[in-house]
Structure formats: structure tokens, C-alpha cells
Structure 1
Amino acid sequence: MNSKEVLLRKLNEKKARMAVLGLGYVGLPLAVVFAEAGFEVIGIDPDMSKVDTLNEGVSYIPDVSSEDVDKLIKSGLLKATTDFSILKDVEAVSICVPTPLRKTGDPDMSYIDAATSELAKYVHAGMVIVLESTTYPGTTREFVLPILTEKNDLVVGEDFFLCFSPERVDPGREDWTTINTPKVLGGVTEACGEVADAWYSAAIETVVPVSSAEAAEMSKLLENTFRMINIGLVNELAIMCDRLNVDVWEVIDAAATKPFGFMKFTPGPGLGGHCIPIDPLYLSWKMKAVNYNARFIELASEINTGMPRYVSIKVQDALNEHRKAIKGSKILILGAAYKPDIDDLRESPALDVIALLAEKGADVSYHDPYCPSLQTNEGEAMESVPDMMASVRTADCVVIITNHSDYDYDAILADALLIVDTRNALGKAGRNNSKVFGL
């Protein structure tokens, strides 16, 4: 039998050994899903603390329970290591490493480069590789493939198989998770897609094959560009409604009653998380290489990145209405994570709002039940205030950045002197209260 037939048999019988490169928000849930499906999974991460924690049966990702990890570790179906050399004995590899943007606005490919370069030392016939890290169209074929084949005679689609399958992790969700969220998958060749489909279908409920790796890469960017642009639209709508003295939340709720042709998006203090603020800019960067300006993306990015400054001006104006200067005022930020009920601080607008208020001379503190500490944009450490309601009562202004469900908003509304509510967390009660200022 040829390499494809041998590998397909191992995958179908779940005898193929699997490795996940990168054990973060994407890699660990994926490793657990495949291990629960009966595959022997080895997680590889350069962070020894993560590896030691997992091997002790403890999860550091909220979406994965320690109970599940402990069970899989004890069964031998899951283990973690920092040693890439185990890849020589592995048939299936998923790459789940970060792809941030550089300060210059171009993709930082260093993590994919490092992971792929290590993998290239051990790539062999009868191996299937899937890149899950979100990136620009062409990465799998133009960047990853040359690294994997630079020092060997392996032929993609015959000896080994390479695909792209975009991660669709939404931290904190319980309805749509790794196992039941449909998985788009595109191969560098048709045979690559066929092999990876057989592998992923053994653990993921729905696999959606597309014609190429580029189509899969582009689909991910479309998903997040769609959201980024629509959030930019409602953020600008919030600014326009403020100028016109119209309640933006009432407008959105009214529009959302239309049963067709409208999808509800809500404004906020800015974009957060690893995907929506960053992914569309991969596409914008790529298009510059072919002399095309992605105008919608650039405009939406400009509006969204300007929202933290808009919030800081709102706070300043609110304090002025109460005859207080922002300099020296005690300002309490409620919620630091980028979305409710999680501990993820990546690209959180709270960090920008804290920096802007501190720059204006405010005495800024924060509370977040999920983030006991954080590092500001300037590198300074901050601790969540121990008594949230005591801080609410003594603050000159409370700024709701993240609408965690743990918060008692009725008590906050009753006890705070002044509130800037960027999420409509207080609802109509807040919008009808003279001490509350919204977007």
C-alpha cells in the first residue's frame, strides 16, 4: 500500500498517533477532543509550566475541565511534553500556535515559523499535517510547505499531506465547542484534503471540505472581517446617535425586531480577543502585496481602535457634568477581560481605557472576578480591588467595560456616584438615570 492508504487505515482505526503543537486556547481543547475520541495525543509546548500542569491532570484553560484532563492523562491517551523529537513517531500533527500582528501591522509569523521548522526535522512519509493558526491566504502553501520540504524529497499529496483548517474557538461558550462547531478544511492537494477529512471526521461532528487551503484560509478571514465591519458600523452609529441625542440601544433593539434582512450587533468600548481585532488585518496586509486597498477593513479598524479614546472622553465629559476634573479623580473599571465571563485579556479594550485615563491623570483601579491581576500597556502590574462594592461607593466614576454576569448591576446602579456604561449592562434603568452616561 502507498503512504495515503496506510495512513487512512491508521486514521480510520484510530491507531494513528497525534501531536498538537501549541497548548493554548485552541490546542488544548482540540487535543482533549481527539483523545476523548480514542486517539493517542501528545501535546507539545515550549512552556514547561503548561506541560507540567497538564501532566499533573490539571487544566489551565477554563473551557477544559481538570476532571477531563486528569482522566485522559491517567488513561494514557493524553500527555504533554516540550520535546519535539517525539514527532518522528507521530502520524498526525495539528499546528495551533499564535499569529499576532507586529506593531508595524504585518503578521508575526515567528510562531508558525518556529513550530514548522521543528516539525520539518521529523516530517516523514505517512504524515498528515493541519495548520489551524489563523493567517493570511497562501500561508499553508507558500510559507509552511517550503519549510517542510526544504531538506527532503517528500512530495505533498503523495508522501505526506498538508491542509489548513481554521480554528473557531469562542472562549466561554458552552453551546458551540470544539467538537460540535463545523470544521472547515482545505488541502494543498485533493489527496491532502481527503486524508485530513478522514482524520478530523473521527473526532469532530461536522467537517466542511473546501477546494483548497487558500479557500479555507479566506473563509476564516471572512468570518471575522464580517464581524469586525459590522461592529465598526454600530460603533459609528453609537457616535452618531450621541451627536443626535438618540438612544442607540433603543434604535438597535427596534431594528432587531425585523425578522429578516437584519443581524443584531452591539457597540462597545473597542474590540478584544485574538481574532476580530487582528484577523481582518492579515487580509488587508496581504492585499497590499497585490496593490489593492481593503477599504472596508481599514475604515472599520480605524473606528474600532478609536473607541477606547471615545470612552475616555465620555468619562471626562461625565465628570465635567458633575463638576469634577478627571485629573485626580478615582475611576473604577469594571471588567478587564475582552468579553463576559472569561479570563482572556488578549487585546482587551480595558487595557487601552486604563492607559488613556491614567494618561489624563486619573487614579485608576479595576475589578474583574476572572482576572485577579493584569499588566498594563506600560508594563505595570495591577491587582483587582478586593472589595468591589466598597470601591464602587468610593469611586468618582465607575466605568463598565465588560458586562460580566456575576455583577449585581442593581446594587452598582444604586451605590455608584457616577457611571459610564459602555455595554448597556444597566439596561433601561441605567439609560433613564441622570448619573449614568452611555455610549
Structure 2
Amino acid sequence: MVRHRHDLAVIGLGYVGMPLAQAAVNAGLAVVGLDANASVVASLTAGRSHVDDLSDEDVATMLAAGFVPTTDPAALAEAAVTVICVPTPLGDEGGPDLTAVRSAASTIARHLRPGSLVVLESTTYPGTTDEIVRPLLEASGLVAGTDFHLAFSPERVDPGNAAYGIGNTPKVVGGLTPACTQAACDFYARFVDTVVPTKGTREAETAKLLENTYRHINIALVNEMARFCHELGIDLWDAIAAARTKPFGFQAFYPGPGVGGHCIPIDPNYLSHNVRTRLGYPFRFVELAQEINASMPAYVVRRAQDALNEDGKALRGARVLLLGVTYKPDIADQRESPAVHVGRRLIDLGALVEFHDPLIEKWDALGLPARSVADLDAAVEHADLTILLQHHRGYDVDGLARISRRFLDTRGAATPAPGVERL
């Protein structure tokens, strides 16, 4: 029987890998974390967190319990289970860039031992675990499903969600074989309340894409409705509030300046790309949703122009203040934030753009001049137009709207009043 120093090795210590490692450590597992970024490992070793959902204190607690961050792949040979949590950004051709997944699988292969379990959690298209990861692992000379277990289990991390974390969010698991599924289920059951097995890896991979495609399409629906409701003089926010009183058959989604983050703007495209590549026809719902959601920043800028016109001002030369530039409220994560596209378009059209975000000191995403303001109230009073892009908990939206010259609310947070418009 092979003895293991670590119960779990997590490859990729980002927004997915660190919460997973924390949950495992808290359950009493011996965990090692591998990351190629030496500065990330050094920061964690010093007890500093770089992800929103873990504080420095959380990291210090993990270290005290035996968590070991490292850049040394040799640690993988001492782990009973290895989980891949590396990024899968959108590639040039519309599918996922699997560079980090391939690298992780090849690294594991060099240290793989009989009886081990390898799980891919990185989001990707159906077939990746079997067609990409398995052959790379089998370069070790071991056979998946015979000598070692292989499974896919989609990450369901929701940054900033205080109600649902790793432990109480059901964990979907699909193995290469029934035995692989059982091994993965047994592992996750050590620190997850509910484990949901699927028929295989492809079903588990598709489940993740279905979840995010569902959200992508429904957000596109209300984004398109926001446009024609504005033209027809209908308060869509009030209509949604009325519709959500139905106790069955309806789930509320809300319009906004675009979609952001690590899932909605990216993951559905993996499925669309996979359908086009393998079957030769489009996944029309996804492609239409992408078109609608991607056009929202331009629509916000058009509404900004209209708002300024009401005051007899041109957008060129106008002072525009953006409130909240992260992709989600109350977290510092800026990945794929629609604020970037809004800001760039405003600057391209000649606006003098400033921004405020209580969680961001420096905003480099624009690549163009956008000054951070220190005195929020003074900045709002001075701006020709204030645009709420993200409703952080710390914003007194109605108070800010009252002192503004003109206020455009893309999140439905402000009480309707003269000079205040909602998307």
C-alpha cells in the first residue's frame, strides 16, 4: 500500500484552488498547494491572501494546520488526490485556452502513482477530461480507470457569497468509469455536504456549461427588454419586482452594463465553440446572448449621451464619474468587468473620465487616463454625469444621486427622482 504525505494536492492557488484547499484543511486533510507563480506562493507562505474570499487570517489558520504552498511539482508524488484548478481563459478561436490544463496534466504524469485520484475542476468543453487530460496522464505508463482514477468536478465558487461555499454547495462529480466516480465522490464527501454523481465526465462538464449558459441567456433577455422598455416608457425594474412575486415558474434576472467575471462572459462560448467545431452548426441561443450582452456597454454610453443632452451638454469634454468598476458587488475582482468597455468608449468619445471604487485603489485596465477620486461626495457634485456601474454595499446610492447633477443607474438601486435615470 502506497503511503501519502498529503491527502490532497491542489494545482492552481487562485479563486478556485484556495477555497478548495481551505475546505479540505478545515476538514482535517493534509493539503499541499502547487502554483507556478513564485510570488503567489511567497505571499501565501507569509500569510497574505490574494483572493477575495480568504482573509490573511484565513491563510494563517491554514498554514498553522499544515497547509504547504509550493512551486515544487515533486510534492505531487506524495499526494493521494490531485485536483487541477488552473485558469481556462477564452482562446483566440473562441474555445478555451487549455495551455495551463495541459501543463498541469503533464506535470502530474511525471509524478503519478498507482491508486491515485486526479480530478479536473477547471471549466472547459465536454470531452476535455477524456480526450485531453487522460492521454497526457497516461504518458506516465499508467492507465486511467485501471491504475489510477480520473474524474471531472466543475468548480462552483461564487466569490463574495457568504451563504454558499465549498461545504454546502452540492458537488457534481463525473468519473471516467463508475469506480472513478465513486472514488471522487468518496473524496469530496469528506468536506462537502452533498455530492452529485453523473454518468461520466462529459455529463459533469456539460452541467457546468449549462448552469452558466442558462444565466447568460436570461441576462441577455432582460438586457434586451431594458432597451425597448426604456423606449416604451415602461419601468422594467418595477415589472421584474412584480413578476418575482410568482412563487413558481419564474426566476428574477436583472439588466446591467454587461456581464463580467470568470464564468458568464466566457464559459458559454466553450459550448458554442464545441458545437460549431464538432457538429458544424451554431448554438444560436448562446451566440445571440453574447451579441446582446456584449453590446450593453455601448448602450450605457448612448444613454449617457442622452442624459447629458437633457442638460444641453456634449459628451466630449464632459466630466463623467464611474462608480464601481469591479465585475461584482463587494469584491475586488475586476476580471472581464464591463466597466472597462464603458470607460474606454467614454474616453474615446472625448469624455473626461474619473472613477471611484471602495475596493480598488488603482484601475489599470483601461490603458487610458482615468483618475481615481478620493472625495466621493465632492466628485459626484462636480461631475456632469455620474454612472453607477456596480452597487457596492458601501454606496449610499440615493444620497449620491441627490447631490449629483445627473445620475445614470445601471443596477436599479436608486429611487426614481428628477435627474436620476435607471437603465
| 1:158 alignment partner AA | T
Confirm or deny: 8 A CA contact 2:6 2:30 kept in the other structure.
Answer: yes
Aligned pair in 2 of structure 1 residues 114, 235: CA closer, same or farther (>3 Å)? same
Residue in 2 that maps onto 1:217: 205
Residue in 2 that maps onto 1:258: 246
Aligned pair in 2 of structure 1 residues 277, 390: CA closer, same or farther (>3 Å)? same
| 1:437 alignment partner AA | E
Deviation string, structure 1 residues 47-101 (Cα, Å, up to 9, x no partner): 122111211222222211322321221232x010111121122221010011111
Residue in 2 that maps onto 1:436: 420
Residue in 1 that maps onto 2:157: 169
**Which among 310, 313, 316 is matched to residue 305 of structure 2?**
316
If the length of structure 1 is used for normalisation, what is the TM-score?
0.93
> What is the rounded CA distance, in whole Å, between the counterparts of 1:97 and 1:128 in structure 2?
17
Residue in 2 that maps onto 1:55: 45
Aligned partner of residue 270 in structure 2, secondary structure: helix
Aligned partner of residue 191 in structure 2, secondary structure: coil
| 1:264 alignment partner AA | A
Q: Once the 2 structures are TM-superposed, how far is the Cα of residue 391 of structure 1 from its aligned partner?
A: 0.8
| 2:158 alignment partner AA | D
Aligned partner of residue 375 in structure 1, secondary structure: coil
Q: Once the 2 structures are TM-superposed, how far is the Cα of residue 352 of structure 1 from its aligned partner?
A: 0.6
Structure 1 unaligned blocks of 5 or more: 1-5
Aligned partner of residue 22 in structure 2, secondary structure: helix
Superposed CA RMSD? 1.5
Q: Once the 2 structures are TM-superposed, how far is the Cα of residue 218 of structure 1 from its aligned partner?
A: 0.3
Verify: 1:71 aligned to 2:55, yes or no: no
Worse-matched range after superposition: 97-106 or 134-143: 97-106
- Moved beyond 6 Å, runs of 4+: none
Aligned pair in 2 of structure 1 residues 38, 15: CA closer, same or farther (>3 Å)? farther
Confirm or deny: 8 A CA contact 2:6 2:31 kept in the other structure.
Answer: no
Residue in 1 that maps onto 2:329: 340
Confirm or deny: 8 A CA contact 1:367 1:388 kept in the other structure.
Answer: yes
Confirm or deny: 8 A CA contact 1:376 1:382 kept in the other structure.
Answer: no
Deviation string, structure 1 residues 281-323 (Cα, Å, up to 9, x no partner): 0000000121231011011110000000000000011101110
Residue in 2 that maps onto 1:21: 11
Alignment of 1:15-414 (within 5 A): 17-76=7-66, 78-150=67-139, 152-289=140-277, 290-377=279-366, 379-380=367-368, 382=370, 384-414=372-402
> What is the rounded CA distance, in whole Å, between the counterparts of 1:375 and 1:46 in structure 2?
24
Aligned pair in 2 of structure 1 residues 207, 386: CA closer, same or farther (>3 Å)? same
> What is the rounded CA distance, in whole Å, between the counterparts of 2:117 and 2:93 in structure 1?
34
Identity over aligned pairs, percent: 47
Q: Once the 2 structures are TM-superposed, how far is the Cα of residue 16 of structure 1 from its aligned partner?
A: 5.0
Residue in 2 that maps onto 1:3: none
| 1:438 alignment partner AA | R
> What is the rounded CA distance, in whole Å, between the counterparts of 1:90 and 1:376 in structure 2?
38
| 1:237 alignment partner AA | M
> What is the rounded CA distance, in whole Å, between the counterparts of 2:398 and 2:413 in structure 1?
10
Worse-matched range after superposition: 110-119 or 413-422: 110-119
Aligned partner of residue 363 in structure 2, secondary structure: strand
> What is the rounded CA distance, in whole Å, between the counterparts of 1:49 and 1:199 in structure 2?
30
Confirm or deny: 8 A CA contact 1:15 1:39 kept in the other structure.
Answer: no
Aligned pair in 2 of structure 1 residues 381, 149: CA closer, same or farther (>3 Å)? farther
> What is the rounded CA distance, in whole Å, between the counterparts of 1:111 and 1:243 in structure 2?
46
Aligned pair in 2 of structure 1 residues 136, 89: CA closer, same or farther (>3 Å)? same
> What is the rounded CA distance, in whole Å, between the counterparts of 2:375 and 2:42 in structure 1?
33
Confirm or deny: 8 A CA contact 2:113 2:148 kept in the other structure.
Answer: yes
Aligned pair in 2 of structure 1 residues 335, 51: CA closer, same or farther (>3 Å)? same
Deviation string, structure 1 residues 232-258 (Cα, Å, up to 9, x no partner): 000011011012111111111121122
> What is the rounded CA distance, in whole Å, between the counterparts of 1:365 and 1:258 in structure 2?
41
Q: Once the 2 structures are TM-superposed, how far is the Cα of residue 434 of structure 1 from its aligned partner?
A: 2.4
Q: Once the 2 structures are TM-superposed, how far is the Cα of residue 15 of structure 1 from its aligned partner?
A: 7.0
Confirm or deny: 8 A CA contact 1:373 1:381 kept in the other structure.
Answer: no
If the length of structure 2 is used for normalisation, what is the TM-score?
0.97
Confirm or deny: 8 A CA contact 2:6 2:32 kept in the other structure.
Answer: no
| 2:28 alignment partner AA | G
Confirm or deny: 8 A CA contact 1:241 1:248 kept in the other structure.
Answer: yes
> What is the rounded CA distance, in whole Å, between the counterparts of 2:284 and 2:401 in structure 1?
41
Structure 2 unaligned blocks of 5 or more: none
